[in-house]
Structure 1
Amino acid sequence: MAGSKVSSFAAVAFLAYAIIMLPVMARAAAAHSSAPAPAPANDGTTIDQGIAYLLMLLALVLTYLIH
Structure 2
Amino acid sequence: MAPISRVPLLLAACLILAVALAIPVARAQLAPAPSPTSDGTSIDQGIAYALMLLALVLTYLIHPLDASSSHKLF
AA in 2 matched with 1:24: R
CA positional deviation for 1:34: 5.7
Matches for 1:1-67 after TM superposition, within 5 Å: 8=10, 9=13, 11-25=14-28, 27=29, 30-31=30-31, 33=32, 35-39=34-38, 41=40, 42-43=42-43, 44-67=45-68
Identical columns (%): 9
The alpha carbon displacement at 1:58 in A equals 1.6
The runs of 5 or more residues in structure 1 that have no matched partner are none
Q: Which has the higher helix share?
A: 1
CA deviations on 1:27-64 (whole Å, 9 max, x unpaired) are: 2xx23x16322135233431232112211232133212
Question: Which has the greater radius of gyration?
Answer: 2
Aligned length: 57
